[in-house]
A and B are shown apart, each in its own frame.
Chain A
Amino acid sequence: MKTKKLLLGDEALALGAINAGLSGAYAYPGTPSTEILEYVQKNPVAKERKIHSHWSSNEKTAMEEALGMSFCGKRAIVSMKHVGLNVAADPFVNSAMTGANGGLLVISADDPSMHSSQNEQDSRFYARFAMLPILEPSDQQEAYDMGAYGFELSEKLRLPVMLRLVTRLSHSRAVVTTDSVATEENTMAYPADTRRWVLMPGNSRVRYKDLIAQQTQMEAMSEESPFNTLTPGTDSRLGIIASGIAANYVKECFAEGCPFSVLKISQYPLPKQKIAELASACDAIIVIEEGQPVIEESLRGLLDRGLKVYGRLDGHLPRTGELTPDCVAAALAGLLPDMKEQLTHPAAMPSDKVVARPPALCQGCGHRDVYAALNAALETFESPKVFGDIGCYTLGWLAPFNAIDTCVDMGASITMAKGAADAGQHPAVAIIGDSTFTHSGMTGLLDAVNEDTTMTVIISDNLTTGMTGGQDSQGTGKLEEICIGLGVKPQRLKTIDSLPRNHEEMKQLFTDEFNHPGLSVIISRRECIQTARRHAKKQS
C-alpha cells in the first residue's frame, strides 16, 4: 500500500528512514537539516516504536551515538548541517575505518548561497576524503527512496553512507509516494569482525587496505545505481553531467525534451564508465552541480588537456552561490548560441526602489538587553573587544548594537577571547548562547579556568536553541552547575535576568566583572520570546 504525502525534502528522507526500519535518529539542530529530527520526533510510528530522537549536544556526539547504534546491528541516521560535519569530522572519517554494522546514514545538508551559514563548503569532499559512498537525491521522492536504499547499501558494504542534501531540496515541499507500512527494525546483532572496531594501528593498517580494495565494489554499485542515469540525446555538440537537484534545472531548461545526452549523478563514487560513455558520444561536456566543483575538478585533472569541460571553474556557471534555473539556462545559452531564444526569456530589471531588509533580533528578546547593557558598560574602556558566536545573537553585529567583533564557529567566542586575553587584550569579552555553550563552549571554558584567564564570558541563556526554531537546549537548568563543575570560582559566577528594567544592574555587573582580574562568567537569562509565546499558547 502506498500513501501520497506533501513533504519537505528533509521530511521525506526522515520518513523514508523510519519506514525502512530506523531505530535511532541523532542530530544537533542546524539549518537546513533541523526538520529531519523534528519529523522523527513527531512521527506516530517513531513514537510508538520509541525510536531514539532526542537532540544531542553536538554533531560529534550525535555521530558517535549513531555509530554505537549501528555497532549493535540497528539502523541509525545522524543529521547535521554542512558545518556540523566539521565538528563530527573525527568520528565520520574514522567510521570509514570501523565501518558500519547496522545501516548507518550520515546526512549532511549543505547551504550553498549561505542563506543561514558562515560558509558554503561542500560535504561531498568529506565523503571522498573518507572514501565513503554518497547519495545525493535530486528530488523529494528520491530523498524518500534513499532512506531504504541507503540502509541497504550501507549494510551491503558494511560502511556508513553519506546522504548529501542542499537547502533547495531540504526546504522544498512536493508530493511523495510513501509506503503505508514501516518495515520492522533490525534485531540486536554484534559485528562479526570485531577487530575493525578497535582502531589500533595494527588493526587500522589492515582495515585501510580493505577500504581501498572496496572502492572497486563501490564504483560498480554506482554504475548499476538506479539513481545514476544516462539519457542519450540526438545533438552531439554537448554532453551534460548534472548531479542532484541540478538535474531538475536542466529539465526546466528543456521543457520539450533535451536534445543532448544527460548523465544524472546521484550516487558516488563517480560512475566512471558512464562518464566515459557520455564523453565518447559528445564534443564537449558541461558539469552542472550544486555547491563546489567536486565532479568538475575530478574530470578536468591537473593538466586539463582532454575533452573540453565547462562548468563553475571557467566561469560558465557562477563560481559561488547556489544554482538557479536562470544561471543554468544562461550557461547553456552561452555554449549554444543558436538555442539562446529557446533557453532564455525576457525578465524585468530588478527595481532600484527596493532596499535591503536584514534580519534583526525580535522585539522582546533578552539578547537585546544583554547588548544594550554590554555596550553601555564597555563605553568607559578604551579598546574593548567582544568575541561573538553562532546563534540569533550574531545579529548583535548589525545596527543598532554593532556589539560584536567576531563570529567564526560554534564555541569560538570563549576560546578566541582567551587567545586575545593571552595576547594582552582587555577587556576580552565572550558572548555565547546556552545551546552553543553546551555544544562547544564548555571545553574552551575549561582552558580559561585552568589558567584563570582575565576575561569575561557572558552566557546569554534563552532556554532554547533559538535560531533554528526553538529546539530543546541541552544545558537548560544546568548551566550554573556546569560552570561550577568545570571549576569557575563560585564568587565569579553571576546570574541576572536579561530584562529592560535590569539595565542599570546589568551594566554595573558587567563593569565590575570586566574590572576583576581573572575569569568571570555571567549567565544572563530570559526565555526566548518565540518559545515563551508558544508555551503561553499551550497553557491557555
Chain B
Amino acid sequence: MKTDIILAGVGGQGILSIATILGAAALSDNLYLKQAEVHGMSQRGGDVMSCLRLSSSPIASDLIPQGKADLVVSLEPMEALRYIQWLSPQGWIVTNTVPMVNITSYPPMEDITGALDATGRVVSFDMDEVAKEVASARASNMVLLGAAAPMIDIPVDKIENAIREVFGAKGERIVENNLMAFRAGLEKAKAIINR
C-alpha cells in the first residue's frame, strides 16, 4: 500500500488537522508515514501545503516527487490547482469549490474550474454547504477528509476512530459533528466517483 497526498489550503483553514487525523489512523493501521508541513510566515493567510506519505513499506523522502502524488486534497480550489505538477497521471484531485478570496488578483472562477476539470479525475463540491447541512460550517475540513477517504487505502473505521481520538478532548458533540461531516463527504464523493 502506498498513498502520497498533497494537502493544500490557505493558512488558518485547518489542513493540519486533516494531516493529524490521517497520521493517527495510519499509526493505528501500522503504516509508515511521513508528513512535512510548513510553519511560520506562510501561516498568516498565505498558501500552505503539506506532503503526507503513507505506505506499508519504509518511506525515504519527506517530500513527494512531482508527478507522483496519488491525491491532491485541498480546502480551496485555486490552491488545488497550485500543486497540479505533483499529481500522478492516475491521481485524483479532491477539493472544496468555495474560493478564499483574500487577494485582489484572484482569477475568474471559471478559469480555475475549467483547469481543474481538464485533469479528468476531480471530486469537487461546495464542502462548506455540506458541512453546514450536517454539522457546522467549521467542519468543512472533515467533509473534505471524507471526500478523500475512498482514495486512501486505510479502512474507514480506522479514520473514524482517529477523528474520535483527535477531537475527543473537545467533547462528544464536537466528535459527533465531525463524524457526521466526514460521513457526508464520503457519501457525496462516492456518488461523484460512481457517476
Contacts and interface: CB of A to CB of B under 8 A. Distances in A.
Interface of A: 4, 6, 31-32, 34-35, 115-116, 167-169, 171-175, 245, 248-249, 251-252, 255, 324-326, 329, 345-351, 353-362, 392, 395, 467-469
Given A347-B86, A350-B85, A354-B81, A174 B63 contact: no
Contacts, number: 148
Contacts of B45: 357, 359-360, 362
A251 B59 CA distance: 9
A351 B61 contact: no
Interface in B10-41: 10-11, 19, 23-24, 27, 32-41
B85 A348 contact: yes
26 contacts: A6-B33, A31-B40, A32-B39, A115-B41, A116-B40, A116-B42, A172-B36, A173-B34, A175-B27, A248-B61, A251-B61, A325-B64, A347-B87, A348-B85, A348-B119, A349-B85, A351-B81, A351-B84, A353-B111, A353-B112, A355-B105, A357-B78, A357-B79, A358-B46, A360-B46, A469-B39
Contacts of B35: 172-174
Given A354-B81, A355-B107, A359-B11, A325 B65 contact: yes
A249 B111 contact: no
A249 B119 CA distance: 28
Contact of B23 (A173, A249, A349, A395): A173
Place the interface of chain B in its size category: 35 or more
A32 B41 CA distance: 11
Nearest to A395: B44
B135 to A, nearest CB: 19
B85 A359 contact: no
Contact of B103 (A172, A255, A355): A355
A357 to B, nearest CB: 4
Nearest to B43: A359
B48 to A, nearest CB: 9
A249 B42 CA distance: 25
A468 B115 CA distance: 35
B60 A354 contact: no
Interface string B103-139: 1011100011001000100000000000000000000
A395 B89 CA distance: 38
A323 B122 CA distance: 30
Interface string B57-70: 00111111111100
